[in-house]
């Protein structure tokens, strides 16, 4: 026996609310424990990956993921730092996507959100790739829009990963080369 349409609708609403509450809880926990998360960097590439997940799992509230990538690029091999940070930040962005997918807009609708939703509707994954690559605080809104528009999850993750990894490579290599430049400047290199 199939559940009634009303029961199916209620089940979908309950699931969406559960996802929304989980996303909000994750955001609050990460923001509350952000100082303790820095110790994960001592674990090398897995630590960089986990910190990048945490830094990007926050909704709207900024976390220092790019600064960590820049710094770790001077300590570890920048190519691998970029890969770890890119993969971690991609998984962290699932919170925004899931919040949008839940059907509950976490932020008040604004002209920025409406514009990003329009861009995502018109240009799809290319909007996600571009916004993932450019350092900006709007990517959370783009993730919300992608989820709300039901962009396939694999497409969202692939284009987010490409943009985030390219960006993280840039910051990791900038960190590595700036350290070399400083060492040469002071004659210690």
Distance CA 165, CA 179 (A): 21
Let me know the angle formed at the C-alpha of 135 by 67 and 122, rounded to the nearest 5 degrees.
Answer: 155
The set of residues, in sequence order, having a beta carbon less than 8 Å from that of 21 and lying 6+ positions away, is: none
| Per-10-residue mean pLDDT, the chain, length 189 | 74 63 54 52 82 77 72 87 95 87 65 83 92 84 88 96 96 82 62
pLDDT value of residue 112 = 77
pLDDT value of residue 30 = 47
DSSP string, the chain: -PPPHHHHHHHHHHHHHHHHHHHHHHHHHHHHTHHHHGGGGGGHHHHHHHHHHHHHSSSSS---HHHHHHHHHHHS-HHHHHHHHHHHHHHHTHHHHHHHHTT--SS---HHHHHHHHHHHHHTHHHHHHHHHS--TTHHHHHHHHHHTT--HHHHHHHHHHHHHHHHHHHHHHHHHHHHHHHHHTT--
pLDDT value of residue 37 = 46
pLDDT value of residue 89 = 93
The domain limits of the chain are 5-185
Q: CA torsion sign, 26 to 28 to 34 to 37?
A: negative
The candidate with the shortest Cα–Cα distance to 155, out of 134, 125, 184, 131, is 125
């Amino acid at each position: 026996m199939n559940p009634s349409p009303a029961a199916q609708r209620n089940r979908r609403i309950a699931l969406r609310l559960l996802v929304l509450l989980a996303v909000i809880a994750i955001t609050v926990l990460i923001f509350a424990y952000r100082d303790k998360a820095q110790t994960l960097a001592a674990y090398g590439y897995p630590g960089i990956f986990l910190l990048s997940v945490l830094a990007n799992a926050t909704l709207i509230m900024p976390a220092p993921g790019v600064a960590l990538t820049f710094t770790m690029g001077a300590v570890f091999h920048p190519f691998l730092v970029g890969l770890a940070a890119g993969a971690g930040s991609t998984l962290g962005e699932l919170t925004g996507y899931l919040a949008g997918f839940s059907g509950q807009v976490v932020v008040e609708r604004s002209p920025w959100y409406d514009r990003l939703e329009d861009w995502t509707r018109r240009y799809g994954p290319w909007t996600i790739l571009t916004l993932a690559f450019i350092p900006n605080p709007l990517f959370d809104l783009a993730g919300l829009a992608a989820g709300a528009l039901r962009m396939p999850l694999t497409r969202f993750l692939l284009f987010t990963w490409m943009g985030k990894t390219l960006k993280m490579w840039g910051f990791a290599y900038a960190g590595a080369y700036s350290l070399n430049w400083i060492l040469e400047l002071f004659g210690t290199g």
